[in-house]
Amino acid sequence: MGCFKFLKIMMFCFNGVIFLAGGAILGVGIWVKVDAGSFLDILMKAAPQLKQIVNIGYLCIALGGFLLLIGFLGCFGAVKENKFMLMIFFIIILLIFIAQVAGAVVILAFSGLAEIFISYIKVWAVKSIKNDYGQIPDITTLWNTLMKEFKCCGFTDYKDFTNSTYYLPSSKYPQECCRGSYSCTDFGIDHDLPGCYNSLLSFLQRHTQILGIVALAICVLEVGAMAASMILYCQIKKREQTV
């Protein structure tokens, strides 16, 4: 009985946090969609480089609603000892867990496809630099932010800008590609700057271990949540059969 009560309390606390987090995310999503103007003002003051990341309202609403559902099923199912809700909670967490494992297996099994995927990204990235940089404000701001934050130039290197629609009228490269305040012509190029592909790849490699630890922690929490919900389900069912 002591173990049963402990699991109920743990389920309530754990899913209560999920429920509150879902409510907060849902509220942010609704606020973004209803009052995008004030959200943009706050975002621009806090982090001007994130100006382009504004269309997140629907994502927040979907994620918040999903977390609210999971939190409600776990909390209410544990407190009210509702077998149906506990089983639905178990199935949802199980499906998420299976999807994570399947994704990891696919990534490991088809790691050779990564080079093909990167080649497609390279084609798109170089094409956007050649044709869209300096012409489309959103694309220009995205590349400027990326080059500034990662201290890189172009996708492969500065030559991606050569003969581009940005370079041809003035024979100049973006200022992010040059040394200090030098005029960004062929003579001002910082040849030591890597391409953004190499910088992004190095960034991902440095943070792979952190991502692995986070993924492992999430899997452990999911297994614990499934175990707790199933134990509660079995205990409630056994109690009903003995009555």
SS3 assignment for 179-228:
CCCCCCCCCCECCCCCCHHHHHHHHHHHHHHHHHHHHHHHHHHHHHHHHH
d(CA 234, CA 76): 17
> Any idea how long the chain is?
243
State residue 94's pLDDT score: 92
State residue 139's pLDDT score: 86
SS3 for 156? coil
One-letter amino acid at 24 equals: A
| Nearest CA among 222, 159, 235 for reference residue 15 | 222
State residue 160's pLDDT score: 92
The ranges assigned to domains in the chain are: 2-110, 113-194
State residue 90's pLDDT score: 92
Per-residue pLDDT tens over the stretch 65-98: 898 999 899 888 888 888 899 899 999 999 988 9
In degrees, rounded to 5, the angle at the alpha carbon of residue 173 between the alpha carbons of residues 167 and 177 is 155
First-to-last C-alpha distance (Å) of the chain: 16
Q: CA dihedral in degrees (201, 202, 208, 209; nearest 10)?
A: 170
- pLDDT classification of 42: cutoffs 50, 70, 90: low
State residue 49's pLDDT score: 47
State residue 89's pLDDT score: 92
The pair phi, psi for residue 23, each rounded to 5°, is: -60, -40
Q: Assess whether pLDDT exceeds 80 at residue 173.
A: yes
- CATH fold of the domain at 113-194: Cd81 Antigen, Extracellular Domain; Chain: A (1.10.1450)
The pair phi, psi for residue 27, each rounded to 5°, is: -60, -40
State residue 219's pLDDT score: 84
State residue 41's pLDDT score: 59
Q: Cα 225 from chain centroid? A: 23
Mean pLDDT of the chain: 80
Q: Check residue 178 and report its DSSP letter.
A: B
Q: Which of 50-59, 95-104, 170-179 has the lowest mean pLDDT?
A: 50-59
d(CA 37, CA 53): 13
% of the chain beyond a pLDDT of 70: 79
Ranked by mean pLDDT, the top range of 21-35, 140-154, 169-183, 184-198 is 140-154
**Beta-ladder partners of 189:** 178
For residue 230 the two structure tokens come to 């199933």
State residue 133's pLDDT score: 92
